Amino acid sequence: MSNTQQMVKELVDKHGNDRTNLMAILQGVIDRERSLNDEAITEIAREMDLSAAQVYGTASFYTFLDTQPRGEYVIRVCRTITCDMKGKREILHMLENLLKVNVGETTPDKKFTLLETNCLGWCHKGPAMLINDKAYTELTVEKVKDIITEIKHNS
């Protein structure tokens, strides 16, 4: 049994193989792997008696259920109106410079993926971003530098 098979099996055992548990299982894979690959989706399909296309179709509906390879830290910068007004662009540029990737890309060491996302619900404290599940608000260029430095340092 491959690691992916093992992981999917554990998740299905934990949540159950009824379709109502599909979101939790897909999220479980994301929590561990940051994205859903071919093997993970086929395994989920097998365990839940769905077709692989159905699982893929469902996953691809949700922004956070990435079906493209992602880095260990997925950065999602809010691009919705108030964050945009409060300087999202500078934040994004700083991140692009720091990580040496464009939006949508993953660093070659597979550490970071830089993405934009829709309203994070921190409009009064924009600009905001998520790194994996954690929210960072009232961002400044300086603050972003510190955050990235700290992550790099800690890992």
Partner 1 sequence: MAEKKQLKRVDIIFTEECNFKQVLSEALQRSDDEIIQSLLDSGLRGRGGAGFPTGMKWKFTAQEEADERFIICNADEGEPGTFKDREILFKVPYKVFGGMAVGAKVIGAKEGYIYLRGEYKFLLDDLQKQLDDFHKLLDELGLDFRIHIVTGAGAYICGEESALFESMEGKRGEPRNKPPYPTINGYKGKPTVINNVETLVYALTICRLGAERFKSLGTNDSRGSKVFSISGDTPIPGIYELELGMTLENFVEEFGDGDTKSVQVGGAAGFCVPRKDFKDTIIGFEGVPTGGSMMLFNSSRSMYNVIHNYLEFFEEESCGQCTPCRVGCQQLLLGVEAVKRGDKPISYLDELLKLTETMKLTAKCGLGQSVANSFASIVDNFKEEMIY
Partner 2 sequence: MINLNIDGIDVSVEEGKTVLDAAKKINVKIPTLCFHEDLCIAGNCRVCVVEQEGAKGLIASCAMPAHEGMKINTNTLKVRRSRKHIIELLLSEHNADCTKCYKNGSCELQELANEYRTGNQVFLDLVQEKNYTIDQSSPSIMKDDSKCIRCQRCVRTCEQLQAVSALAVANKGGEMKISSFFDKPLHEVVCTNCGQCINRCPTGALIEVNNIEDVWDAIYDENKHVVIQTAPAVRIGLGEELGFNPGARVTGKMVAALKRLGFNSVLDTQFTADLTIMEEGTELLTRLKKALVDGDKSVHLPMTTSCSPGWVKFIEHTFPEFLDNVSTCKSPQQMFGALAKTYYAQKRNLDPKDIVSVSVMPCTAKKFEADRPEMTDSGYKDVDYAITTRELAIMIKQAGLDFMELEDNEFDSLMGDSTGAATIFGATGGVMEAALRTAYELVTGREVPFENLNIQPVRGFAGVREASIKIEDPVDDWKFLDGVELRCAVAHGLRNAKELMTSVKNGKSNYHFIEIMACPGGCLGGGGQPIPTNQEIRDKRAAAIYEEDMSLPIRKSHENPEIIHIYNDFLGEPLGHKSHELLHTKYVKRERY
Binding residues for partner 2 (CB under 8 A):
38, 41-42, 45-46, 50-54, 56-58, 60-61, 67
Which of 73, 72, 70, 87 shows the shortest CA–CA distance to 128? Answer: 87
Q: Write the DSSP symbol of residue 17.
A: S
Per CB under 8 A, which region of 94-102, 106-114, 120-128, 146-154 contacts partner 1? 120-128
DSSP states along 44-111:
HHHHHT--HHHHHHHHTTSTTS--S---SEEEEEE-SHHHHHTTHHHHHHHHHHHHT--TT-B-TTS-
Shortest distance in whole angstroms from residue 92 CB to partner 1:
14
Fill in the per-residue mask, 74 to 103: x = in contact with partner 1 (CB under 8 A), - = not in contact.
-----xxxx-xx------------------
Q: Is 120 in the site for partner 1 (CB under 8 A)?
A: yes
Write down the least CB distance from residue 55 to partner 2, Å: 8
Q: Which does 51 bind (CB under 5 to 8 A by kind): partner 1, partner 2, none?
A: partner 2
Amino acid identity, position 129: M
